[in-house]
Structure 1
Amino acid sequence: MSWYLGRLCGFDLETTGTDVEADRIVAACVVQCGGGAPVQTATWLADPGIEIPEDASKVHGITTERARAEGRPAAEVVEQLVAALAEVVLAGTPVVAMNAAFDLTILDREARRHGVQPLVDIVGTGLRVVDPRVLDKKIDRYRRGGRKLEDLCRTYKVRLDGAHSADADAIAACRVAWRIAQKESAIGGASLDFLHEKQIEWAREQAEGLAEYFRKTPGKEHQADGVRVEWPLIPHQRAGGEA
């Protein structure tokens, strides 16, 4: 059976910002769907322990005041989130995440920050990720317009029930991945192992292309050095520079 006809696990985070090394989780969702079984959704609201910048609050709608009043301790949320993802990964279910390297790296750093065993240390080489952003850029490289989740939902005629809430984004990412796999037989018919390895290659090529664009664009040259090519996780740098 094709991978996209089985169980999928959507994963999404809302955060305090876009710096994977310093920013924190504010909200999270892990949703299991497809495969002929009922949808199972788990969501979390965290008190990140730092101020949520106004720009971030404008995106996801969660203020510092709300997070402090309603959110659970960050360490508790991170521990439960890692456990939820580890369970599905060890069951052989692919994790579907839009721009996966951001969400998985943020989670990895949060785990290390709070003394929680990181997901990669639990599941080892068993992690299989499907990233709609990487897939879309591969199959439709020259399409004009944005590549955010809202853009992909319009392109693939997928319903998005409330952008920038973790639960809505997680299920929408699964729907987009399903549509792409249904449309492109080379993707839908690939094994998860093969598709995961190809996405590592495609994501690197896409990142290198972006860096080259920055280098050639006046006023954007400085952004080239900040482009990371690793996928689906930016490796943690230990003391002394060892990966």
Structure 2
Amino acid sequence: MEPSPVASWAHTLAVFDLETTGIDIDTCRIVTAHVGVIGADGAVLEQRQWLVDPGVEIPTAATLIHGVTTERARLEGRPAAQAVAEIIDALRDAAGRGYPIVAYNAAYDLSVLHREAERYAHDAFRGPGFVIDPLVIDKAVDRFRRGKRTLTAACEHYGVELTAAHDAGADAIAAGRVAQAIARSFPEVAATTIAELHASQVDWSREQAESYQEWRRMNGEPEFTTSGAWPLR
């Protein structure tokens, strides 16, 4: 059987990922970053990567995930203010060429970058015209599938190779390929225009957050709240 053609919006995608010092978007700092471009077959066409000195200690828990120690970041990393400016410029360039920007759990990465821009008094990257978040889309189109929804799990489900999880480059490229695989698996996603898909993700993210909040409150956490704002929190 011939593979389904990739959706028109996925012919060329910018891919973006960060590894950071933590999970709190207001306080964590960028440690590594990747901005690249993939073609319709998932081949890497362009890539830029950064190792950043975040200017703070990298917690051991974070190092255990992405492998970068404070010592290495200080020795080899670019100063955070410079790196953040370069990452923003790379995303602006990709968006300016009309590429949708793919990020898995995009609201996290874009929000961290936004806070970093504020921290160093840069003009913030407020997002391109269109963002593709495979996490949000997958939850919406395959709502009742059991199991985890991590990038690793999504790659396994959609048959995408991920050789180095939590490496910013590997994660960014894999996320782009998962987005293309979702489009091949769900004709309704492939047939949706990029503008309609972006707008749908705004609604889906809010609905998913509301459902998760309700579940947590029903299971012993009556004060639990979470934000479904997307693609920036």
Assess same fold via TM > 0.5.
yes
Q: For the residues of structure 2 that align with 1:95 and 1:197, how far apart are their CA atoms?
A: 14
Deviations 1:2-44, CA, capped at 9 Å, x for gaps? 3344210110000000000111000000110104786111000
Q: For the residues of structure 1 that align with 2:208 and 2:9, how far apart are their CA atoms?
A: 24
Deviations 1:196-222, CA, capped at 9 Å, x for gaps? 00000001000100100110112x444
Bigger RCO of structures 1 and 2 (CA < 8 A, at least 6 apart): 2
Q: Is the 8 A contact 1:27 1:166 kept in 2?
A: yes
Deviations 1:101-133, CA, capped at 9 Å, x for gaps? 00000000001101111012xx6xx52000010
Equivalent of 2:29, from 10, 24, 29?
24
Equivalent of 1:34, from 16, 39, 45?
39
Equivalent of 1:11, from 8, 12, 16?
16
What's the RMSD between the two structures over aligned residues? Answer: 1.5
Q: For the residues of structure 2 that align with 1:127 and 1:62, how far apart are their CA atoms?
A: 32
Q: For the residues of structure 2 that align with 1:80 and 1:221, how far apart are their CA atoms?
A: 42
Equivalence for 1:108 = 114
Pair 1:188-2:190 in alignment = yes
Deviation at 1:170, TM superposition (A): 0.3
Deviations 1:68-117, CA, capped at 9 Å, x for gaps? 11100000100000000001112110000000000000000001101111
- 2:18 is paired with a residue whose SS is strand
Identity of aligned residues (%): 44
Q: For the residues of structure 1 that align with 2:147 and 2:200, how far apart are their CA atoms?
A: 24
Deviations 1:36-61, CA, capped at 9 Å, x for gaps? 78611100000000111111110101
Aligned residue type for 1:93 = Y
Give 5+ residue unaligned stretches, structure 2.
1-5
- 2:153 is paired with a residue whose SS is helix
Pair 1:140-2:142 in alignment = yes
The within-5 A match list for 1:55-94 is 55-94=61-100
Give 5+ residue unaligned stretches, structure 1.
235-243
Equivalence for 2:104 = 98
Aligned residue type for 1:75 = A
Q: For the residues of structure 2 that align with 1:175 and 1:13, how far apart are their CA atoms?
A: 17
Q: For the residues of structure 2 that align with 1:3 and 1:161, how far apart are their CA atoms?
A: 27
- 1:45 is paired with a residue whose SS is strand
Deviation at 1:142, TM superposition (A): 1.6
The within-5 A match list for 1:87-236 is 87-120=93-126, 126-218=128-220, 220-222=221-223, 224-225=224-225, 227-234=226-233
Provide runs of 4+ in structure 1 moved above 6 Å.
none
- 1:39 is paired with a residue whose SS is strand
TM-score, normalising length: structure 2: 0.94
Aligned residue type for 1:92 = G
Give the aligned length. 227
Q: Is the 8 A contact 2:14 2:37 kept in 1?
A: yes
Q: For the residues of structure 2 that align with 1:128 and 1:52, how far apart are their CA atoms?
A: 32
Q: For the residues of structure 1 that align with 2:229 and 2:125, how far apart are their CA atoms?
A: 17
TM-score, normalising length: structure 1: 0.90
